[in-house]
């Protein structure tokens, strides 16, 4: 990707050698599991997989519907939308708000240089409001602007806005208020983007014309291509996430609504954001929780802008043929800690906004969109049902359950990632493993934030809101534990039905230890193999040996 040259150390793709190593790892895991699988247990465990498949019917069916809708939008609907937007007029004025926090001078120069170059190439009058945190940023931005100022359209300007240190929300409010004071002309557009987002040539014009072509659309967002600094697993983890986002966005755009207006790069019609209520919705957003009271939003500004448009019935669209580059790097702390910290922020933002979006109702949102929002509440439990049932069945009845289930996971997740490759063009051999990691760990994080919606944290800025200290806040962990206990009770009941004794007659594993049922004394069941599952004969036990009599004296 061209952006790699501007950001040394950031890569868009892994090497061919890494892909070969990924294929070898996937093959080695599969062969090892096949070698460990006890063939005598396959019949009963296959029935178990069918049971687990029935549990996941909602999730698999919903995923299939999303995939079909995404392909319809990408292949049929969007090309017609793009054709209609080809000759749409450019806006009379483009306002750009760029928020950044401790961005390196090299990245600032690359991001703003690309932005000014695009404005110059298209002839757009462009007013850029840069929310900065350091005086060194101001010097870099001034140089980038002054080098191009003579060639930019008349009326173009650069405004530097020091951040107050209260987070991204405060910076956005100050920037939007400044723009409103400047008096935007009719049909102007507002671009909100992060300070580590790189625009490629032609993308700004295509996005502005697309929004201008559809008067009922209040905002559009684009595809994101991660430029990752880190190891191969880190890079592919980000790529997988963006591939899934691309598919989901295409599916939702078929309903002319989206589930988020990403803060990385989203373009708004000025009429949709011109009222003071829009800035207020960003700066003082919050929700009323039935147990915790009012929760002020610290993170998730892009969810606030999304909900502001959603409740005022503005349409939203996705542009899959525009992919901006996004610099990515895991927070410190190691793989598990870093990925779960990001999930806690991402899924926490979704959870906090889920309830109020559901409250708008299907008449306001449309049935498919409303069910998609509802699925955000259901999917964490359905994602955990399969592995929880099979793991419990393995503890109760034998290890074949878990081995066959892992093989099932490799097969199904490989199929999913290959199908997504047909849509997004993104694939790597370790995608199936990363996909399953995201599903299991992500589901646990979602359930956690569902019970702890007051936990919020910005990873880079260090801003956090850990909730209140009252009784209601302390009860969060109790409700979380009760939910997991209820879930596991259902899992154990289901796993108990997967008893191989129905096939072979003899309990194994934990039931063999706990089994107190009386056995017939006239026969003895002998196993054919050490797995204690396959009886090979029934034989009469030998007569009891009497105790020896007393030895004669003398």
Phi, psi of 131 (to 5 degrees): -90, 105
Weakest-pLDDT range from 6-15, 148-157, 221-230: 6-15
Model pTM score: 0.85
In the predicted model, what is the mean pLDDT of residues 485-493?
83
Beta bridge partners of 269: 189
Q: How confident is the model at residue 516 (pLDDT cuts 50, 70, 90)?
A: very low
In the predicted model, what is the mean pLDDT of residues 278-301?
86
In the predicted model, what is the mean pLDDT of residues 469-495?
79
Q: How far is CA 248 from the centre of its chain?
A: 10
Q: How far apart are the first and last CA of the chain?
A: 103
Q: What pLDDT does residue 209 have?
A: 96
Is-contact 204 122, C-beta < 8 A?
A: yes
DSSP string covering 351-363, please? Answer: HHHHHHHHHT-HH
Residue 421 pLDDT greater than 90, yes or no: yes
Question: What is the overall mean pLDDT for the chain?
Answer: 84
Q: What pLDDT does residue 79 have?
A: 97
| CA–CA distance, 418 with 243 (Å, rounded to integer) | 11
In the predicted model, what is the mean pLDDT of residues 47-64?
72
- Percent residues over pLDDT 90 in the chain: 54
DSSP state of 166: S
Residue 78's H or E segment, with its range, is: helix 78-85
Token representation of residue 21: 């190593």
In the predicted model, what is the mean pLDDT of residues 94-98?
96
Name the H helices within 270-334.
270-273, 276-283, 301-311
Q: Torsion angle of alpha carbons 328, 333, 336, 338, nearest 10°?
A: -30
Weakest-pLDDT range from 382-396, 441-455, 499-513: 499-513
Instruction: Give the residue, 505 or 359, on which the prediction is more confident.
Output: 359
Phi, psi of 192 (to 5 degrees): -105, 125
């Amino acid at each position: 990707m061209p952006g790699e040259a501007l950001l040394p150390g950031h890569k868009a793709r892994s090497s061919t050698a890494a892909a070969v190593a990924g294929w070898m790892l996937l093959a080695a895991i599969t062969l090892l599991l096949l070698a460990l699988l006890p063939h005598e247990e396959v019949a009963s465990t296959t029935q178990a997989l069918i049971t687990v498949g029935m549990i996941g019917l909602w999730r698999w069916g919903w995923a299939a519907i999303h995939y079909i809708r995404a392909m319809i939008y990408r292949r049929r609907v969007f090309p017609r939308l793009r054709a209609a937007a080809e000759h749409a007029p450019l806006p009379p004025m483009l306002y750009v708000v760029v928020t950044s926090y401790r961005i390196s001078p090299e990245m600032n120069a690359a991001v703003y240089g690309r932005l000014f170059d695009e404005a110059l190439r298209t002839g757009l009058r462009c007013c850029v409001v840069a929310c900065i945190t350091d005086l060194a940023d101001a010097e870099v931005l001034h140089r980038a602007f002054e080098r191009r100022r003579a060639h930019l359209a008349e009326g173009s300007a650069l405004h530097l806005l020091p951040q107050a240190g209260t987070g991204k929300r405060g910076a956005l409010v100050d920037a939007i208020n400044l723009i409103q004071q400047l008096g935007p002309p009719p049909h102007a557009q507002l671009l909100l983007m992060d300070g580590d987002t790189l625009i490629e040539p032609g993308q700004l014009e295509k996005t502005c014309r697309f929004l201008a072509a559809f008067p009922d659309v209040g905002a559009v967002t684009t595809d994101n291509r991660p430029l990752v600094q880190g190891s191969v697993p880190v890079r592919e983890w980000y790529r997988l996430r963006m591939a899934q986002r691309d598919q989901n966005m295409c599916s939702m755009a078929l309903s002319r609504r989206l589930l988020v207006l990403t803060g990385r790069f989203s373009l708004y019609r000025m009429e949709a954001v011109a009222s003071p209520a829009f800035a207020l919705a960003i700066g003082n957003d919050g929700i009323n929780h039935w147990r915790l009271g009012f929760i002020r939003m610290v993170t998730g500004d892009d969810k606030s802008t999304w909900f502001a448009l959603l409740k005022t019935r503005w349409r939203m669209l996705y542009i899959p043929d525009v992919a901006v580059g996004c610099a990515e790097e895991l927070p410190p702390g190691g793989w598990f800690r870093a990925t779960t910290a990001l999930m806690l922020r991402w899924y926490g933002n979704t959870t906090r906004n889920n309830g109020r979006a559901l409250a708008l109702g299907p008449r306001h949102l449309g049935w498919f969109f409303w069910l998609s929002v509802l699925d955000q509440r259901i999917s964490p439990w359905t994602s955990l049902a399969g592995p929880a049932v099979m793991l419990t069945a393995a503890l109760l009845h034998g290890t074949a359950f878990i081995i066959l289930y892992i093989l099932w996971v490799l097969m199904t997740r490989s199929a999913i990632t290959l199908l997504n490759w047909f849509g997004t063009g993104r694939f790597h051999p370790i995608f199936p493993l990363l996909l399953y990691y995201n599903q299991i760990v992500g589901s646990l994080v979602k359930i956690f934030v569902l019970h702890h919606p007051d936990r919020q944290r910005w990873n880079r800025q260090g801003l956090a809101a850990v909730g209140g200290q009252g009784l209601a806040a302390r009860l969060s962990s109790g409700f979380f534990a009760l939910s997991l206990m209820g879930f596991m009770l259902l899992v154990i009941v289901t796993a108990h039905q997967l008893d191989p004794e129905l096939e072979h007659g003899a309990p194994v594993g934990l039931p063999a230890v706990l089994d107190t049922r009386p056995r017939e004394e006239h026969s003895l069941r002998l196993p054919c193999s050490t797995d204690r599952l396959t009886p090979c004969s029934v034989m009469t036990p030998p007569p009891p040996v009497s105790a020896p009599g007393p030895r004669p004296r003398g």
